[in-house]
Amino acid sequence: MKQFDIPVRLRRLRKNASVRAMFDETSLVPAQLVQPVFLTDGPVPEPIESMPGIERLTIPALVEKCKILASLGVYGIAPFPKTPDDKKSPDGAESYNPENLICRAIRAVKAAVPEMVIFADIALDPYTTHGHDGVLTADGGDVDNDPSVEILCKMAVENARAGADFVAPSDMMDGRIAAIRAALDAEGLTGTGICAYSAKFASAYYGPFRDAVGSKTEAKNKISGLSKKSYQANPANRREAIREALFDEAENADMVMVKPAGIYLDIIRDVRENTLVPVVAYQVSGEYSQLVAAAQAGWLDLEACRDESLLAIRRAGADLILTYFAESFARSRCEK
């Protein structure tokens, strides 16, 4: 058989698993992942129908989960509460109650698993009766930016006092990073970092998450016309996302985030190339659920697609990934 004159053969660097491993350009290890977790004040963990395999955990169950995660090499969690309806209010005041579900959970985890790094979500949607990430104007026609930021500062301080390593403002209010940094420093909480949800897009992929925390706003929006699109980033805009990240870096965020991850890989790359702080990406609930559902139908290999999707996010430039696959990925690595 004739040999072609091809002096450069790229397949030489792919010839077997050992060679391929030597020349991997992108790494993916459990320590680069953060597991989002949902919490309930109920007596037992609660399954989340739209997120197969994920539960709302009680605080004792969360502590046990954190012990498992740490043993697998996953050292970060991002807890989110399902607030009982009787504790919700128009101004979300439960968010800065030092005895709320999240603050109690943070203290319990830090007492039992002190090495676990906690990213505390800072937004009002789990705590408001209307399901928005801030308080509304008097006429209910908009989310009122500056009063919302004042409440977010109170919430950030209480989460930091409870022991959160990073507060993670996901609300997308203007100016909140500088205000939260000032509030933390004024209380002597200078060691608490800020993970800014900088390019959080108004995405259709958040549906299962809103089921999990009980913050759906769709029915109310049809009545009021108020949409999260008035404060979350426009999916059509790349330059806007870069501006958001640069503003947050200038306001002293310790890291910036792009959310969702998988369908915004170009934004992750844009942000990585324009900022010097670490870049975080959030593989959101809809991304998780669509892969799990397709695998349950027999259409995809879940483990292979999980790993490929996470590798793509890392390759795009994410230093850290929030993903509901963190535990399963880490388990698979321990088994190999």
What is the residue whose two structure tokens read 């205000």?
179
φ, ψ of residue 261 in degrees (nearest 5): -100, -60
Helix (H, G, I), strand (E, B) or coil at 63: helix
The shares of helix, strand and coil residues in the chain, as percent rounded to the nearest 5, are 45, 15, 35
Q: What are phi and psi of 200, to 5 degrees?
A: -95, 110
Active site residue 110: no
What single DSSP character describes residue 254?
S
Beta carbons of 228 and 217 less than 8 angstroms apart: yes
Max CA distance (Å), the chain: 81
Q: What CA–CA distance (Å, rounded) separates 170 from 199?
A: 9
* Cα–Cα distance measured from residue 203 to residue 131, given in angstroms and rounded to the nearest whole number: 16
Residues 333 and 30: beta-carbon distance below 8 Å: yes
Catalytic choice (82, 88, 228, 259): 259
What letter does residue 3 receive in the DSSP assignment? P
284: CB partners within 8 A, 6+ apart = 203, 205, 206, 209, 259, 260, 261
Q: Under a CB-based contact definition with an 8 Å cutoff, are residues 245 and 275 in contact?
A: yes
Q: Where does residue 120 fall: left (phi above 0), alpha (psi -120 to 50 degrees), or beta otherwise?
A: beta
Q: For strand 55-57 and strand 46-47, is the pairing parallel, antiparallel, or unpaired?
A: antiparallel
| Distant-in-sequence, close-in-space partners of 221: CB < 8 Å, separation ≥ 6 | 227
Residue tagged 């800072």 (tokens):
122
Look up 259 and say whether it is catalytic.
yes
Question: Which residue among the candidates 65, 82, 200, 228 is catalytic per the annotation?
Answer: 200
The answer to whether the beta carbons of residues 305 and 291 sit under 8 Å apart is yes
Active site (catalytic) residues: 200, 259
